[in-house]
Structure 1
Amino acid sequence: MKTSLKIYALTAVMAGGIGFTSCEAVKNTNNAQRGVAIGAASGAVLGGVLGNNIGKGGNTALGAIIGGVVGGAAGGIIGNRMDKQAQKIETALPGAQVERVGEGIKLTLGENSVNFDFNKSSLTATAKNNLDKLIPVFNEYPDTNIQIFGHTDSAGSDEYNQKLSEQRAAAVQAYLSSKGLKSSRFTVLGKGESEPIETNDTAAGRAKNRRVEFAITANEKMVQDAQKEAKQ
């Protein structure tokens, strides 16, 4: 599983007094230790700063995850639960890119996992089949919020790509809801061509930019349960 070590390292350094001096050192800590490190810097405040910076200059999904950090012992408990969910997502859908970030999960589904008919927002049979594999995992962990972000390449106008990304993200949410997942768990946002992960100058790069990302975070119930458990 790919882990966002840069996020962890920045959190630890800002928390202060932890003594982690490299990404390798941070990688060797467990989620409870990382949660305590975040808590030492006033968890949600630090998360909000990181989230805003990432959201403005980089990836919105990462910003959504870090922006909602709880921190402290409760954050460590949430992190452990997210570890288990991330592992099950990887097992269910090996082609997905699963990243454990802070207290959440960033899930990226490229064209090989979730694709659409050309210039349309309708899901293909392959896309539906792959989303079906994720549904049991999402059902097993009902106390999570799921933000869905649609992305396009740069072909076409900004306005067209923005609308298309919104429609495609909404199509994913609608399909998952039609399979029994509560619609209240979802937030949908289209990012158009504004957040490329590869160059748009090549066909391969454009294909990678056409993607759907999920930011999976703890909902209020999971946070409250973790806080109660941390006090025991």
Structure 2
Amino acid sequence: MKKISVIALALVMSIGTFFTSCESLKNTNNTQRGAGIGAVAGAVIGGVLGNNLGKGGNTAVGAVLGGAVGGVVGGVIGNKMDKQARQIDQALPGAEVERVGEGIKLVLNENAVRFDTNKSTLTAAAKANLDKLIPVFQEYADTNITIFGYTDSTGSADYNLKLSGERASSVKSYLVAKGLSSSRFKVTGLGIADPIASNETVEGRSKNRRVEFAITANEKMIQDAQKEEGK
């Protein structure tokens, strides 16, 4: 499991270098430094998202970074997400679990969530794998989950956009039917957008047919983190 995304790592390194070189921060404590770094990180992330929304920003990574709180509170949330990410990785080893900022990007490829050809119906194997994630989602109930559906480039873009949305909705419907709150979920179909592999090969197309989750803190988790930080 990746512990931190390339984007987040670059931000931490650049921001950390900036602040450690500032004479004015040498006498501050860790909490004050964390809050300062978080504030600047929020500004940098905001700039990154501002430049990329509309150019592939509507993705799992974009959704996670868009919900960043920053500061010490963001650090508290990040610690909780670390634990959740480890449990997801243990529950479903075939999934790609990536900690990004203050949230989690979860990629379920065809090995984890498969649909019948040209249909949005979940296979029995897909349902079994989603069942493995449900206890983790129940334990960490104070999160919001955006589900993104993707296809390969076979067929028309319009058809794939519709199919990807239906597949994301099928995943949501299954999880809600198993007892998870519907209010936690949003669904988005992105069709052939943002391929993670070449559509020129069978293997690449298989990787592009996927479902991604963006897991972020809901308002209750944020408020609880604020209370914890204030103790």
Q: CA deviation at 1:4?
A: 3.7
Distance 2:85 2:111 in 1: 19
List aligned pairs for 1:12-27, cutoff 5 A: 12=12, 13-14=14-15, 17-19=18-20
Over residues 30-70 of structure 1, what are the superposed CA-to-partner deviations in whole Å (9 max), with x where a residue is unaligned? xx999646523163x44333334454444611011011111
Amino acid at match of 1:7: I
Unaligned segments of structure 2, at least 5 residues:
22-30
Over residues 114-158 of structure 1, what are the superposed CA-to-partner deviations in whole Å (9 max), with x where a residue is unaligned? 000110000000000000000000000000000000000000001
Distance 1:208 1:35 in 2: 38
Distance 2:151 2:102 in 1: 27
Distance 1:3 1:57 in 2: 26
User: Is this contact kept in 1: 2:5–2:99, CA < 8 A?
Assistant: no
Distance 1:74 1:208 in 2: 35
Task: Determine helix, strand or coil for the equivalent of 1:123.
Answer: coil
User: Is this contact kept in 1: 2:5–2:101, CA < 8 A?
Assistant: no
Distance 2:118 2:73 in 1: 44
Amino acid at match of 2:73: A
Which residue of the partner structure matches residue 148 of structure 1? 147
List aligned pairs for 1:33-48, cutoff 5 A: 36=35, 38-41=37-40, 43=42, 45-48=43-46
Which residue of the partner structure matches residue 169 of structure 2? 170
Which residue of the partner structure matches residue 130 of structure 2? 131
Q: TM-score, normalised by structure 2?
A: 0.88
Which residue of the partner structure matches residue 193 of structure 2? 194
Unaligned segments of structure 1, at least 5 residues:
21-31
Over residues 93-112 of structure 1, what are the superposed CA-to-partner deviations in whole Å (9 max), with x where a residue is unaligned? 00000000010000000000
Distance 1:46 1:189 in 2: 26
Task: Determine helix, strand or coil for the equivalent of 2:106.
Answer: strand
User: Is this contact kept in 1: 2:84–2:140, CA < 8 A?
Assistant: yes
Q: CA deviation at 1:183?
A: 0.3
User: Is this contact kept in 1: 2:5–2:98, CA < 8 A?
Assistant: no
Q: Compared with structure 1, are the counterparts of its residues 121 and 39 closer, same or farther at alpha carbon in structure 2 (3 Å cutoff)?
A: same
Amino acid at match of 2:77: I
Q: CA deviation at 1:3?
A: 3.2
Which residue of the partner structure matches residue 28 of structure 1? none
Distance 1:129 1:54 in 2: 36
Distance 1:175 1:191 in 2: 20
Which residue of the partner structure matches residue 9 of structure 1? 9
Q: TM-score, normalised by structure 1?
A: 0.88
Q: Compared with structure 1, are the counterparts of its residues 53 and 175 closer, same or farther at alpha carbon in structure 2 (3 Å cutoff)?
A: farther
Structure with bigger gyration radius: 2
Q: Compared with structure 1, are the counterparts of its residues 76 and 214 closer, same or farther at alpha carbon in structure 2 (3 Å cutoff)?
A: same
Which residue of the partner structure matches residue 49 of structure 1? 47
Paired residues in the alignment total 220
Q: CA deviation at 1:18?
A: 3.5
Q: Compared with structure 1, are the counterparts of its residues 158 and 199 closer, same or farther at alpha carbon in structure 2 (3 Å cutoff)?
A: same
Amino acid at match of 1:167: E
Distance 1:153 1:123 in 2: 17
Which residue of the partner structure matches residue 27 of structure 1? none
User: Is this contact kept in 1: 2:19–2:37, CA < 8 A?
Assistant: no
Which residue of the partner structure matches residue 29 of structure 1? none
Which residue of the partner structure matches residue 68 of structure 1? 67
Distance 1:110 1:42 in 2: 31
User: Is this contact kept in 2: 1:50–1:63, CA < 8 A?
Assistant: no
Q: Compared with structure 1, are the counterparts of its residues 42 and 100 closer, same or farther at alpha carbon in structure 2 (3 Å cutoff)?
A: closer
